Amino acid sequence: MAGNVEAPAPVGARPERDPKARGGWRGGARIWEETEQQAKKLRSASDAEQHRKLPKRKIVLLMGYSGKGYHGMQRNVGSSQFKTIEDDLVSALVRSGCIPENHGEDMRKMSFQRCARTDKGVSAAGQVVSLKVWLIDDILEKINGHLPPHIRILDTTAMQTRPRTCWLPHGTGLKRVTGGFNSKNKCDARTYLYMLPTFAFAHKDHDVQDESYRLSADTLRRVNALLACYKGTHNFHNFTSQKGPREASARRYILDMFCEEPFVREGMEFAVIKVKGQSFMTHQIRKMVGLVVAVIKGYAPESLLERSWGEAKVDVPKAPGLGLVLERVHFDKYNQRFGNDGLHEPLDWTQEEAGVAAFKEQHIYPTIISTERQERSMARWLGTLPVHDFDATAHAAAGLGTKAPSPLGDSD
């Protein structure tokens, strides 16, 4: 018995721990981590299973946004230097749970397409995008909950009676479309507006050139007569860049263009020019407005308008981008084929007009007005017209010995 008694440990010596006990906390940590990972996998699998049970459908979203501070609509994947509208939209789609995260990284996976690629600073009150999503509950409310106030999916009416086969969550800013729908390719026409202070139409020689100017009925009639000249099919190679006079894609069809009655905001008078066309090239509308302004102010003859559609190079002045807004997109052919088939809704957006108007009044028009007051973009641009050379490119070509295009279209 005595031989089995352990000798007392020396004073100050540390008791030896069981190796198994020594590694117990590490083993417990590993067990905890493995358990947590399994739980995460189970939650992820549960979420994936839940999403698999949700219908994934092709839809369109009606969007409004103020473009100030953004480098256009289209997302530049891999570039965080220039923020775009689609950056905020895709983030909201992922965070709301209606698309998986990897679809946000590669937008082709959700068949994403925008109807119009608006440029830097350009706003929209009726942009339409098409994509595939999970039809989660309260989808519009959740998407808008992750968007800034100046970007909205326009949700303007309560749930309405619809065919059971095309039921959607309430809000007409979201509509079901056919599986192969592409918002860009199926768009028949686009309507833009351009809002500008009316002193842009003040004649350089006999009108005041400041905010006290008010647009007369006679000047408005002359503005509309010039804008009407754009209607029809013309060669707009001088109204964009990198387009030659003989390129077929430079020919564009304009359905309508006119200037509405002026109105006063914060002591400054503004007017809105509206233009509807099948499609537009980069800077085309801004140059269409710029040339009419130059003629009305007396810096260019009316004959320059028709000459700009010819083969000769004309340097058309480009109005500021601040006032340009995509107002509406049109899907007439699609509506004729699918709008009344009992499965899909017509994409006419007439019920959303009140919401579109409210968004313009709340987010777009105030931004244009305040920015014009602070930055004076139109006033500064008007200051360049007295020295603008409408034949600068032609003169440069002549100086380099380049042969200008023949008005008769003869080849070298």
Joined together, the tokens standing for residue 360 give 């313009």
**Residue 205 is a catalytic residue:** no
Cα distance between residue 319 and residue 197, in whole Å = 12
Residue 389 has pLDDT above 60, yes or no: yes
- Cα 197 to Cα 248, 270, 327, distances in angstroms: 35, 4, 19
pLDDT score, position 405? 42
Cα distance between residue 204 and residue 386, in whole Å = 9
Q: Do domains 56-158+169-176 and 189-331+344-388 have the same CATH topology?
A: yes
pLDDT mean over 32-48: 53
- Cα 318 to Cα 238, 258, 288, 377, distances in angstroms: 11, 18, 8, 12
pLDDT score, position 168? 45
List residues forming the annotated binding site: 192
- Rounded to the nearest 10 degrees, the angle between the axes of helix 284-297 and helix 217-228 is 140
Joined together, the tokens standing for residue 344 give 């899909």
List residues forming the annotated binding site for substrate: 192
> Using 50, 70 and 90 to split pLDDT, how confident is the model at 77?
confident
Cα distance between residue 66 and residue 363, in whole Å = 6
Cα distance between residue 334 and residue 320, in whole Å = 34
CATH 3.40.50.620 for domain 56-158+169-176, yes or no, is no
pLDDT score, position 56? 83
Q: Name the phi and psi angles at 229, rounded to 5.
A: -65, -25
Which range (7-21, 264-278, 334-348) has the least confidence? Answer: 7-21
Q: Give the model confidence (pLDDT) of 106-156 as tens digits.
A: 888 899 999 998 988 999 999 999 999 999 999 999 999 999 999 999 975
Residue 341 has pLDDT above 70, yes or no: yes
Residue 79 has pLDDT above 70, yes or no: no
Beta strands in 66-211 (DSSP E): 113-114, 123-134, 151-153, 174-176, 189-197
Q: Which residue has the tokens 């409408």?
A: 390
Question: Which among 87, 88, 119, 155 is annotated as catalytic?
Answer: 119
Beta strands in 91-164 (DSSP E): 113-114, 123-134, 151-153
CATH 3.30.70.660 for domain 189-331+344-388, yes or no, is yes
First to last CA, the chain: 121
> Using 50, 70 and 90 to split pLDDT, how confident is the model at 28?
low
What DSSP assignment string belongs to 17-48? PPHHHHTHHHHHHHHHHHHHHHHHHHHHHHHH
Average model confidence (pLDDT) for the chain? 84
> Using 50, 70 and 90 to split pLDDT, how confident is the model at 80?
low
Q: Give the model confidence (pLDDT) of 64-74 as tens digits.
A: 999 999 999 99
Cα distance between residue 136 and residue 64, in whole Å = 22
Domain boundaries, the chain: 56-158+169-176, 189-331+344-388
> Using 50, 70 and 90 to split pLDDT, how confident is the model at 157?
very low
Q: Give the model confidence (pLDDT) of 221-256 as tens digits.
A: 999 999 999 999 999 999 998 899 999 999 999 999
